Amino acid sequence: MELLERRIRQDGTVLPGNILKVDSFLNHQLDTALLDALGAELARRYAGAGVTKVLTVEASGIAVACFAARHLGVPALFAKKAKSHNLNGAVLVARVHSYTYGRDYEITVAARFLGPDDRVLIVDDFLANGQAAQGLLAICRQAGAAVAGFGICIEKGFQPGGGALRAAGVRVESLAIIDRMDENGIVFRKA
Amino acid sequence: MELLERRIRQDGTVLPGNILKVDSFLNHQLDTALLDALGAELARRYAGAGVTKVLTVEASGIAVACFAARHLGVPALFAKKAKSHNLNGAVLVARVHSYTYGRDYEITVAARFLGPDDRVLIVDDFLANGQAAQGLLAICRQAGAAVAGFGICIEKGFQPGGGALRAAGVRVESLAIIDRMDENGIVFRKA
């Protein structure tokens, strides 16, 4: 998606350790006009796919998930990382390793919000090693819900997450796929 | 706001310990059409107030903050609860006590996203004891930013957070204020 690639080139910063900082517009400060456009594009790609719910994980996936869900006319649902005292009742849980935070954590969804009648679009800001993606897939599997596919803002194409999902037959729509990045620049995969 | 009060009566559940569960539409599963309407109403109330940025704290404030910011045509910014490896550079930090999670935590914002030229609308899903609200105010103060006021979905009017802010001269717009609640029902404050 040209709009997103241009913004990444303009405002993204590549740091050592394969880190792409986009916190001025995507996952700390949020350019809500851009995020609305990204959500609209994900909704366009999944129009007619029978999506009943958009699933993401807190915190940085929530913004794009909300706009995508709004355009699809369905609810969004975000998995929680900390166990809230208020999240009583049956829960769906998966274990996820975070490379960003350097630790494992559990993601949790209240079981009553996801079931066999659902067809889920899983949305996130980044797809890299695919740890969070696999956790969200596991939660859908536990719920007996079908997965329409993934809707990702930025996929790091040089890391294995997206390839593994596609190899397993899962639909992955990434609005920008980075094949290489270093201090000299960013190379996007051609559409 | 009639739309929100009706929805709270219909789908909210009052639990012991002054807990109001609204996780089927406001802070776990998200009714994005409702949240868009709440964001539009906050934007309407703060139209002409010169807001340059909407500030919230992860995770449950992000949805309404995004929709409010989209309607105001400004960026949203969410304070982080965990210290990310990616959040380098100067940061603004405040300490907050969570009654929900039963512990203290720090909230952090990258300093370059908030400054003396900003006029901030602080948005959250709930206002009860006001701990998160005071933390977000402290962050604005550290940044030298002006605070236009607060935009809250549900204020627990029987807890001291909202009253303390108003007594200090801060503008607080709450879309629903609950004066009493128990197993027999919920009493909203008249507008």
Asked if the Cβ–Cβ distance from A19 to B74 is below 8 Å, we say no
Asked if the Cβ–Cβ distance from A70 to B36 is below 8 Å, we say yes
Q: What is the pLDDT along chain B (191 residues), one digit of tens a residue?
A: 999 999 999 999 999 989 999 999 999 999 999 999 999 999 999 999 999 999 999 999 999 999 999 999 999 999 999 765 555 689 999 999 888 778 899 999 999 999 999 999 999 999 999 999 999 999 999 999 999 999 999 999 999 999 999 999 999 999 999 999 998 899 999 97
> Is the minimum CB–CB distance between B21 and chain A shorter than 8 Å?
yes
Mean pLDDT computed over A154-177: 98
Q: Which of B30, B100, B102 sits opposite A77 (nearest CB)?
A: B30
Asked if the Cβ–Cβ distance from B59 to A59 is below 8 Å, we say yes
Q: Which of B21, B33, B59 sits opposite A58 (nearest CB)?
A: B59
> Is the minimum CB–CB distance between A75 and chain B shorter than 8 Å?
yes
Residue A25 reports pLDDT greater than 60 = yes
Whole-number pLDDT of residue B83: 65
% of chain A at pLDDT higher than 90: 90
E strands, chain B, in order: 13-15, 19-21, 29-30, 53-57, 76-79, 91-98, 103-110, 119-127, 146-156, 172-182, 185-188
In Å, how far is A18's CA from the nearest CA of chain B?
A: 11
- Searching chain A, which residue's CA lies closest to the CA of residue B59? A59
Whole-number pLDDT of residue A85: 54
Enumerate the residues of chain B whose CB falls inside 8 A of the CB of residue A24: 113
Enumerate the residues of chain A whose CB falls inside 8 A of the CB of residue B107: none
Question: Rounded mean pLDDT of chain A?
Answer: 95
Q: Which of B62, B82, B109 sits opposite A62 (nearest CB)?
A: B62
Asked if the Cβ–Cβ distance from A113 to B24 is below 8 Å, we say yes
Peptide bond into A68 cis (omega under 30): no
Convert A111-125 to b/e letters by CB count within 10 Å (16 or more is b).
eebbeeebbbbbbbb
Residue A181 reports pLDDT greater than 90 = yes
A10 is written with which tokens? Answer: 């303009």
pLDDT per residue as tens digits for the range A29-41: 999 999 999 999 9
Whole-number pLDDT of residue A100: 72
Secondary structure class of B15 (helix, strand, coil) = strand
Which residue out of A22, A27, A32 would a mutagenesis test of the B interface target, given it has the greatest number of B Cβ atoms within 10 Å? A32
B115 vs B67: CA distance, rounded Å: 22
Asked if the Cβ–Cβ distance from A70 to B21 is below 8 Å, we say no
Which residue out of A21, A62, A99, A118 would a mutagenesis test of the B interface target, given it has the greatest number of B Cβ atoms within 10 Å? A62
% of chain A at pLDDT higher than 70: 97
Whole-number pLDDT of residue A162: 98
- Searching chain B, which residue's CA lies closest to the CA of residue A75? B31
Whole-number pLDDT of residue B122: 98
B4 burial type by CB count under 10 A (0-12 exposed, 13-18 middle, 19+ buried):
buried
B17: which residues sit within 8 A by CB, 6+ positions away?
A: none
B39 vs A147: CA distance, rounded Å: 29
Mean pLDDT computed over A126-152: 98
Secondary structure class of A168 (helix, strand, coil) = coil
The DSSP code sequence of A1-36 is -HHHHHHHHHH-EEETTTEEE-TTTTSSEE-HHHHH
Residue A27 reports pLDDT greater than 60 = yes
Backbone angles phi, psi at A15, to 5 degrees: -115, 160
Secondary structure class of B189 (helix, strand, coil) = coil
- Which residues, numbered 134 to 163 in chain B, qualify as contacts with chain A under a Cβ-Cβ cut-off of 8 Å? none
Whole-number pLDDT of residue A87: 57
B179 close to B189: Cβ distance less than 8 angstroms: yes
Q: Name which of B13, B1, B27 is nearest B186 in CA terms.
A: B13
A168 vs A71: CA distance, rounded Å: 28
pLDDT per residue as tens digits for the range A56-98: 999 999 999 999 999 999 999 999 997 655 556 899 999 999 8
